[in-house]
Structures are given as C-alpha cells and as structure tokens.
Structure 1
C-alpha cells in the first residue's frame, strides 16, 4: 500500500492542501496509475465549494494522464507500463444502454471498489471517481484508456474531462456536418473545445459568444470565424445577421445559465439543434413560451461528457493532435506543481487561464 502526496479538500470552501494519503494495491478489476499530469477543472472547484456534495474529505483532480503501475485480478485491457488517459465513465457493458449499443449513455458506470484514505484511515471521496491531484491513484481498470505514449501527458489528460466534453458536444451530441453554422456560448475550456470540434467537423461558420474579449480572442485560436461580445451587442440578433437572418444549425450552451440557454434557443435556425453542455445548478429555472418549442422544431439535447466513448474517441483525438489538426497544447495556459492548486483555482475563477495543468514528477 503506497503512501503518496495528494491534494485534499477537507471542508467546504477551506483552502485545499497537500497531504499524505494511502493508496491500496489494486484488487480485482482495478488499476494503480502513476499520475504524470492533471488539469485543474471547474468541477474540482465545485467539489471544494460544496457544489456537488458534502462527502468530505475530497481527493481532488480528475483530468489526468499517466502510466499504469500495477493491475488487479481479471484485468486484461491494460497492463503495467501502458500510457493511459483516465476517464470518469467506465461503462458496465450490461445495462440497458450498453446492451442496445449505446455505451456512451451507460447508466451504471463504476469506479474502484477500494477506498483511498488519509493517514489516519479516514476514507477519501475521489473527484469523479478518480482523484488525480496525486502521485498515484486507484481507479477501475475501465477508467484507463491506452493512447500513443509519445503524447505529452500535459495535453493528453485534458481529454479526460473538459476538452472532451466540448469536442463531444459538437462532434457527437451536436453531430456537426460539413457546411453547418455553429454558435458557441461561453468561451472557457469547454466552449473553446466546442469551437474546435465544430471546426473539425467541417462547419463553415463558427460564432463564439462571450462577454470577455480575451476569451473571444482565445476562441479564434480554435477556429472561430466570428466573435460576439454579448456585453456590447444583442447576441441573438448578431448571430442572425451573420447567418442571413436564419440563425445557426447548431447552438451550444457551454455556460449552463437560463440566460445563455435562451440565447442558444433563439439563435438557432427553425429546425436547428441546441446542445446544453454547461452544467446548471439545482435551483435554476428556465421559463419559455411553450409555443416556441413547437414553432421552432429541431432538437434540444443535453451532452453527458460529450457523449464520448473513451476507447473510441481518445485514441482518435490523440491521432488528430499528432497530425496537427487539433491544437490541444493551446488549452494549456500554465504548468504548475502539486502545491499550486489553490492559486490555480483563483486564476480559473478570475478567467485568467484556460487550463492550469499540474505536472507531477
């Protein structure tokens, strides 16, 4: 049972700190992974703030890549030495979604059975079942996806959450097609990934919407053909102007506020699609004239983890990165140490970075 250094949130809104934790040797169906890099995601901040639950203490970090160190009984998909991206939706293969050939909707995803603990034996709750702001972490083997080992861990790990969510919202959930027009509301990490996905999918008009000119400039780096600062102009009207008065084929809400969803809803063409990938809070309410749902037709979708299937999507996206067609490195604003996570949360909340990435030596 190795003892390692890891970032722990002990209580709501308390500063996180680096502590020694115990990581069990892998049991049946589990894998021990030596973490090399892990992105600092908004979800980790939500855990710290109590926005996801109160099952403290939390072992934070989930957007990670590393090398499998050992595996438990019955594991044959990965082996010691494999370079892997960690994912938080290890599919079961048995539920009604999996049996119908739709494993990206799996209703019974799973994590490691054994618990990692603090030095005093207190059980930790790993963020999204991963807990990767740590030198080593224990996961279900199905949470490990092998990719090309020549890929830098600092970019590979980003596919484990935010970047995959945005890319998948455009490519998988939104099913962007060649020649489509797309609007993306919110140009943080997930939104810019959606912009990149729309561009990869062949959209000829990609409109980025935000209230921060710095973020809009970031969006241009990922393929936005037009930008709209919603602080200065009516976003819906401007999008209609840019699309001949019709609206876009696909509108993606990467914010998750009632206001941005309404903008996405009305910014699409009559038979257009809206995809919600930004995460709302439980108390938020959405009110729209019911007739507008009928009058506009089209599709309203929610995107779970970009509707991704890691074993299908991660290797493909890494190949696109290696071909120079997917600029994953542009998401990395800074590389930091394991003791710098609290400061990274401050920068992220202020909108100063797309991604801070913890590098673990």
Structure 2
C-alpha cells in the first residue's frame, strides 16, 4: 500500500524548494522502505536545486541519511524491519567489470530502487543520488541500506552517508595516509574536516589545515589539525613547506575543487607525494599546469569518488569510531532543523555559517 509523506521537492531550476506530499510505494524485489530519522543538508542537494547536476526535475532532495527499515521486498535476506541503517549512494552490483576485479568501491552499475516515488499527480520524482531522504520515508535498493549500531545518534550517523565518508575516505582510502605522514587539507568545511579527522586517526604526525576563514581554521583543530594556514594573507604553498622542513607534504587534499586550490595542492606536495581531489568542481572549470611539472614532480594525482569507500565495510567502522569517542561526528552538526527549514539552511550554507545543518524527523 503506497505511503503519502511530506518531502522537500525542487520543482524547477533555481526556484526555492517546496514542501509537498509525495507517494512512496512499498518495496519491490531487492528494495527496502526506510523511515528517515535524520538527513544532512549537503552542498550536492543545492547543486540539484540549481540544475547543476542535470535537468531531471522535479527532484526529491536529501541523500545523507539514517533511519529505520520499515519493510523489505522480496529476496531481501540481510535486512529486516526494525534495523537501524545509514543510507549509501553507492551499492555495488557485484557484476560489473570493476566489481569482478575486486574493486567494488568503483562499481560502475550501482544499484538503486526501481519503483518510482511520485508527486500526488503521479509525476515521477528523481531522488538525489538515488536516495531522496528529505522525506519522512524513502525507498532504496537493499544494498544502499547499511546496518550500523543503533547506539549512534541519527543526526550524527546520517553524516557518514556522504560528507564524512567522502572526506575521511579521501585521506584514508584514496590518499593512503599512514603513520608518520605529513598531510595538508585545503578547505575546512565538512568534507575537509572529515579528511583532517581521517588523517589524524590514521596516525599522520602533522596535519595542516588551509583555509581563508580564521573561524574555520580554529574549528579544524577540534578534528585533529596540528597547524593552520590562512591562505588569504599568506602564501599557502610556502607556508606548508616551512612547516615540513622545506619539503612539502606526503599527501595534499583539495577539499574545495577549484583550479587555484588544485594548483596549491599540487605544488605543496613533497616530491613523489600524493594529491587527492575530493572537492567537486564546476563543469566549466579548467586547469593549466606545465606538463614538465607533472612529469618532474612524480607522485600520484587522484580523484576521490565518495572517499573510494565500500559502505558495507566502512560505515560500521566509522560508527564504531564515533561510539568509542575517536571520531567526533557530533562536532560536524552545526544545527538541527525541520523539513520546512531546508531552504534557509541552503542560504546559511552559501554564507559559510555552518558545517552541517541536519534535518531531524
């Protein structure tokens, strides 16, 4: 029997979001119905609202969520009603060329629910990142619902579903930060601070936070930054080199995604160092670096997709680190809000006033 629930919908490009009643069907084969308890307001949702992802309006926004499984479809054997889950936007298929080669974190055919959620008039909704969790209930593929300890507060656990996992994984999975490494992270928003936390937990001996906002730099220390650089008034590359004996860092992480921050990360590496880009650029951005520099500096230039994570493996690990007080997920939560407050939360995000606003249902 279909469920009618309140949800946040982006009806057309650039228009304020609307609260509408939508229809969520019961789960079909391989699907689960999740009662959403909390969902973070991520910059990707704003990209959807502004039509920067694609034009498949109307969008059902929200994708960084935790909740309770309410029903499971045919063939679902590893989840049951009442399970506490964090929802992932990658659910490895197990059959594509990447999964078959033992690299499910690069799955090229990630699973989503196939039964559509709709407006009351039957118009199909496009769920953000295949989730659509700014809603009282959402329908996802069973592989997207990752069971975690119910001891984790929903507003904290939800953030693992996207931003925290992306940043943490950029450092630990993509960058391969290890004990004794030096690390620089450019951009101290939610993703950047998660990268800082990941680097610190991995045992980096020096973690340098780079930003143009002193307040954000002060906050970065809470996540494990050992040094800070304000690049508005300081030449960031030289400052990072001075903090590393003149050599540069082993791993430089660009959590902003602009040509100028990418160049900074490129040149603040030590020789043979690793650059990880996890900040998402605008489609029209271009980069110009001399080819001889690419050759002569060596190392690796990597893009981090969702922190190159395997949700079924990594989500429970992050929840366990949170519960053991090693990872302060609560520090990422700037405020808790209701569904009606999402549009204003987007405005606060634009102004740089929050790490994460979290919708609590």
Distance (whole Å) between structure 1 residues aligned to residue 22 and residue 356 of structure 2: 26
**Contact map agreement 2:151 2:323 (CA 8 A) in 1:** no
* 1:169-206 CA-partner distances (Å, limit 9, x unpaired): 00000010101000001110000000000101000100
Aligned match of 1:28: 29
**Number of equivalenced pairs:** 360
Aligned match of 1:179: 180
Is 1:246 the counterpart of 2:247? The answer is: yes
Question: Which is further off, 242-251 or 101-110?
Answer: 101-110
* 1:14-33 CA-partner distances (Å, limit 9, x unpaired): 11111100001100011000
Aligned match of 2:79: 78
* 1:26-78 CA-partner distances (Å, limit 9, x unpaired): 00011000000000000000000111011110000000000000011001121
Aligned match of 1:341: 342
Deviation of the 1:218 alpha carbon: 1.4
* 1:107-159 CA-partner distances (Å, limit 9, x unpaired): 11021001100011111000000000000000001000000011110000100
Aligned match of 1:322: 323
Is 1:96 the counterpart of 2:97? The answer is: yes
Mapping 1:189-338, distance limit 5 Å: 189-338=190-339
Aligned match of 1:131: 132
Distance (whole Å) between structure 1 residues aligned to residue 127 and residue 219 of structure 2: 31
Aligned match of 2:113: 112
Aligned match of 2:66: 65
TM-score by length of 1: 0.99
* 1:225-273 CA-partner distances (Å, limit 9, x unpaired): 1111110000000000000000000000000101000000000000100
Distance (whole Å) between structure 2 residues aligned to residue 255 and residue 315 of structure 1: 27
Distance (whole Å) between structure 2 residues aligned to residue 349 and residue 233 of structure 1: 24
Give the 3-state SS of the residue equivalent to 1:348 in structure 2: helix
Deviation of the 1:93 alpha carbon: 0.3
Aligned match of 2:6: 5
Give the 3-state SS of the residue equivalent to 2:334 in structure 1: strand
Deviation of the 1:294 alpha carbon: 1.0
Distance (whole Å) between structure 1 residues aligned to residue 318 and residue 196 of structure 2: 15
Segments ≥4 residues shifted beyond 4 Å? none
Runs (5+) with no aligned partner, structure 2: none
Distance (whole Å) between structure 1 residues aligned to residue 295 and residue 8 of structure 2: 49
Distance (whole Å) between structure 1 residues aligned to residue 152 and residue 178 of structure 2: 28
Distance (whole Å) between structure 2 residues aligned to residue 12 and residue 77 of structure 1: 39
Runs (5+) with no aligned partner, structure 1: none
Give the 3-state SS of the residue equivalent to 2:322 in structure 1: helix
**Contact map agreement 2:10 2:61 (CA 8 A) in 1:** yes
Distance (whole Å) between structure 1 residues aligned to residue 170 and residue 287 of structure 2: 21
Aligned match of 1:44: 45
**Contact map agreement 2:22 2:120 (CA 8 A) in 1:** yes
